[in-house]
Structure 1
Amino acid sequence: MNKKLTSAAVQFIKLGIAACIMAGMSGCGTSDDTNRNEGPRLSSITGQDAKLLVADELVANHLPIYRDSGHIWVPLKGAAKALGLQLHEDGGGHYAMGQTNPNYNVQINHKEASAGDKVIRLPEPLRELDNEPYMTMESLSALLGTPLNWDETRQQIVMTPITAERQSSSDGSSDGATYRGLAAGYDATELIQYARSFEGTPYEFGTGDYERTRKFDCSTFTAHVFERYGINLPRTSLSQSQVGERVEKDELQAGDLMFFFTPGRYESNEVVGHVGIYAGDGNMIHTYGDPGVIFDRFDSYWQGRFLFGRRVAN
C-alpha cells in the first residue's frame, strides 16, 4: 500500500513539474513581461474617434485615438495626413515626416527623435497599437514644436499652428562637418553644371544615400551637389535654412540655396518645406516629384512660395 501511494505521489509530482515547464514556455505564470517597458497594451486602453483642429479649422473628423490612465495616443499616419505632411516608413520601425523631405524623424520604442538636426527627447516613445504607429499628444507636441490640447467636453484635439518662429526654435546647430557660416568659394557655373547632370534622377521622399538608392528628395539633392565642393550641408531643408547668410529674392546669385513654403496647416506661409538651387537668369534646379530633378523657371508660381535664399560660400 505504501509503495503504491509513493508511486502515485511521484507521478503527481512529475505531472506538476511538466505543467510548470509548459506554463513557463507558453508565457504563463511568472515572466519577464513585468520588467519590460513596452508601453500600453490594447487590453488596458480604450479606443474612440476624436476631432483634430488646427486653431479653429477642422482637419480630421474621425481620428482613431486611444486613451489610457495618463495619455491620449494619436495615430501618426492620421496626424500627418491631416497636417498635409508626407510620412515614410523604412520597414524597421523608423518614420520620417515632412513635406518634400523628412524634417521630422521618429522610431518605434525610442524616446530620441529629431526635428531637423536637433535631437528631441520625447516624453513617451512612439508605440505600435493595433499595428499602427501612435504617439502621445505630449510627444507629438514635442516633435512638431507646437502645443496640442485636449478638449474633454467636445472630445477633440486642438493644435496650435506651426509657425516659422517655432520651427526655427525647434531646430538646432548640428555637429560634425556641417556649419552655420560661409564656406570657401566655388565656381558657381561648374556647380550648376554638376547639378544639371542629375536631371531626371527619380524623386523619393525620405530616400537614403544617393550612392545606394540612386534617388533624391529635395534636401538630399542639394546636400549631394554641395558635398562635391567640400560643403557638407545638413540633411533636411529645415536645417539647411539655418546655414550661411540670408539673401532676399532680388539678391539671388547662381549657387544660392532657395527656400519655399508649401501649402499646409500653418499659421503663416513662412514655414520652410522645400529647398532648391538658384541657377541664375531666373532659373532654378530642384526636385519634388515627377519627373525627378528638374531645371525649372523661377516663375510666378515659385516666386509666390519663395521665402528667402541662403548663400553658403563666399
Structure 2
Amino acid sequence: MVNCEESTCTNIQSAICLHCLRRLCSMHILVHEKIISKETNELYEQIDEVAEQLNVSLQHIHTAYEESRQKLNTWRQDHIDKIKQKHTEQYQKDNLTKLEDELTQRLIKEQQDSTQLELNGNKIDESSVIQMNSSQQQYTNSQLLATNRAISSPSNQTISTTSPLSRTPIKRPIMFSSKKIVKYFKNISGSDDQNLEDYIVKDLHSLSHVNNIMLVFLSLFDAWHSRNLSTVYNDQSLSYHIKNLKKYIKQQEHQLTVIAAIQVFINNCKYSDSQSNTMFTNLFQFFLTNECITKETIIDWYKNGDYYGYEGFQKAKLWAQSFFKDLIDNPL
C-alpha cells in the first residue's frame, strides 16, 4: 500500500489531487483542498485588480488620443486659414499687376496712334497733345486706384479666410465603476475612509476631474444598490459618504456629472419605468437635499441633457419628469 505523501504522515493514501497529482490521506487531502482554494481566490483578486488597472489605462490612452486629435485638427485648421489668406493676397497682387500691364499697354498704343496721326499730316496743336497725354495719364491712374480699392474690398474677395465656428466634441466619458472603490463605499465603519481618500486623490489623479467624479459616483451607486438584489438599497452608504464627497463637487459642470452618473447607473439597471422613476426621484431628492446639486442645474440637465453626450437621456428625462414637475411647481 502507498502511504500519504505528506512528509510527517504515515497514513495510507485515500485520494489523489487532480491539480498536482499528490497522493494524500483523507485528512491531508482536505487541508490541501483549502490551500488550493485560498490560492485560487487570491489569484481571482489579482485578476480583478489587473483588469481594473487595464480599464483605467485604457481611459488614459483614449483621453490622450482625443486631446492629440483635437490639437491636430486645430493645427490643421490654422494652416488652412493661413494658406487661404496667402492665396487671397497673391490673387489681389496678381490681378493688380495684370491690370497695370493692360492699362500701360493701352496708354502706349494710344500714344503710338497719336504719333501716327501727326505723321500723317493731321495738325495737332502741341498744347493739345500735352493736355491729351495728361488726361490719359490721369485716367490710367484713376483706373488703377479704383481697381486697387475694388480688389482690396472684403465684399469682392473670392476666397474667404474665415472658417466656420464648430462646437468642441465631447470626449468619451468613463462609463464604469471601480470594484475597489465600491468595496470602500460599502464600509461605513470608518476604517476605509483614508484608503478611499488616498485612492481618489492619488490613484485617479491622472484622470480629468469630471471623469474622476463619474468613476467615484458610479462606484458609490454600485455600493448603494446591487442589480443582483433589485429591491435592496443601502441608504446608509449614501448618507455616510456624501459629506466627504461634496468637496469634489465644485462647479456646475461637476453637478452635471453627478446627474449624468445617476442617468448612466439607472439606465444600466434596465428596470421598469416605474422603478426607474422611483430611483431617479430618490437620488435627485437626496443630492438636492444635501446641497450637492442645485435646482438650476437640474433644470439645465432636463432641458439640455442631449448635449452632454451620455446615452439614454430621453429615457432618463421621462423617468425624471414627475420630479421635475414637482420641482417647478413647488420651488425651494
TM-score bin, normalised by smaller chain: under 0.3
- The structure with the larger Rg is 2
Q: Relative to total residues, which structure has the larger helix share, 1 or 2?
A: 2
Q: Relative to total residues, which structure has the larger strand share, 1 or 2?
A: 1
RCO higher in structure (CA 8 A, sep ≥6): 1
User: So what's the TM-score if we normalise by structure 2?
Assistant: 0.23
User: So what's the TM-score if we normalise by structure 1?
Assistant: 0.24
